[in-house]
Structure 1
């Protein structure tokens, strides 16, 4: 018999998937009626990602870029979709491109690392880490040091539990997400599931990275 909390979680997950499928249909109707624009294809691409339709999200992001080529270096969302599609070389190239317009973003550097690690191994990923510095968000400095091999998981959570510029809940969300992804890069599946599961359940994570955590958790069967 399903535990009540697990049963509720399954109901909520199904409801979220239905909502995103409805959003995909809604945007598709607008595109068919009015013609596609970069903004509409981006919107549908994000909805497709949230619905777990990863390849469709990439196709929509590519359509947006064809319509507005200037979007190409901005498109970190496309890079994340490429990671989940298993297109790791394309993924790390997208994050290298994003680095040209957003050079201090630790998250971009981490996703580049994750793609490169899947494509070529951890040592290659560490040898080709992007030159990231100056991200003021807590605990991004410690997360970056963790992937560099210069900090521990405990260091990340010590920083995340320290009051900073952002809310503690948000700091802990990013700590859980990126520690989970770190363990996934190391092929430590149990630990990866534990932390990604915590990130996916963060009630305040209503942004796109919260969507990423929830999509990842569904892929893990959480």
Structure 2
């Protein structure tokens, strides 16, 4: 996962669909099932951004039925599973993704978030998926906080005057960290701040939509 390329120079995995099967598709001449799977993924992403998490999962699962190669790259499906409280399946999805992309910090964190709900924070930390060094300072700091324990307030303060996307991501992951600790009030405060931030309110980044979906799923008003 990377940031929205419309607001930063980094390319975003959220703006592209799984590519390895696409390369194979090009080599072998393509097929209707692959194209239909891509359409299903796009529908699923659109439904998720609209707040229809269950509907998004139906489309992601349909994509896998059409083209099983997609499953190993469907991090979007893992996010939907998390918000449907299907944590074991979510953790499995993120572990598959990290196996294909061993440098993806966010998928490692989301696997932890799923497993913290299943096993508790201590065991989830023992099972933590280690990945390569992230080029993004905010995600390096977030990764260290989830992996080793840390202070979410320090994370947010470190990027309070940083770039817009950095403050958004610091607030989002601070809130998610608090959720893993069952601190609902602090989770609410930081994820609400992520939603209301300039990046969170304007960006087409999938994670900006996720922050709003998080509030919807927790029955938090952001109006």
Q: TM bucket by the smaller chain?
A: 0.7 to 0.9
C-alpha separation in 2, matches of 1:43 and 1:174: 24
C-alpha separation in 2, matches of 1:124 and 1:211: 30
Larger radius of gyration: 1
Task: Flag the structure with more relative contact order, 1 or 2, with Cα contacts below 8 A and sequence separation at least 6.
Answer: 2
Contact between 2:83 and 2:217, CA under 8 Å: does it hold in 1?
A: no
Measured after TM superposition, the shift of residue 173 of structure 1 is 0.5
Alignment partner, residue 213 of structure 1 = 211
Deviations 1:58-85 (A, max 9, x none): 1100111121222111110000000001
Gaps of 5+ in 2: 1-31
Matched, 1:171 2:166: yes
Cα RMSD over matched residues?
Answer: 1.9
Gaps of 5+ in 1: 1-33
Deviations 1:143-190 (A, max 9, x none): 111112343224423542475xxxx10001000000000001101011
- Worse-matched range after superposition: 151-160 or 204-213: 151-160
Deviations 1:172-211 (A, max 9, x none): 1000000000001101011000000011123323210001
C-alpha separation in 2, matches of 1:161 and 1:117: 27
Contact between 2:43 and 2:56, CA under 8 Å: does it hold in 1?
A: yes
Contact between 1:37 and 1:64, CA under 8 Å: does it hold in 2?
A: yes
Contact between 1:142 and 1:155, CA under 8 Å: does it hold in 2?
A: no
SS at match of 2:198: coil
SS at match of 1:130: coil
Matches within 5 A, 1:1-222: 37-161=36-160, 168-204=163-199, 205-220=203-218, 221-222=220-221
Structure 1 runs of 4+ aligned residues shifted over 6 Å read none
Measured after TM superposition, the shift of residue 126 of structure 1 is 0.5
Query: Under a length normalisation based on structure 2, what TM-score does the superposition of the two structures give?
Result: 0.77
C-alpha separation in 2, matches of 1:111 and 1:150: 15
Query: Under a length normalisation based on structure 1, what TM-score does the superposition of the two structures give?
Result: 0.78
C-alpha separation in 2, matches of 1:206 and 1:145: 27
Aligned length: 185
- Worse-matched range after superposition: 149-158 or 64-73: 149-158
Contact between 1:41 and 1:63, CA under 8 Å: does it hold in 2?
A: yes
Measured after TM superposition, the shift of residue 49 of structure 1 is 1.1
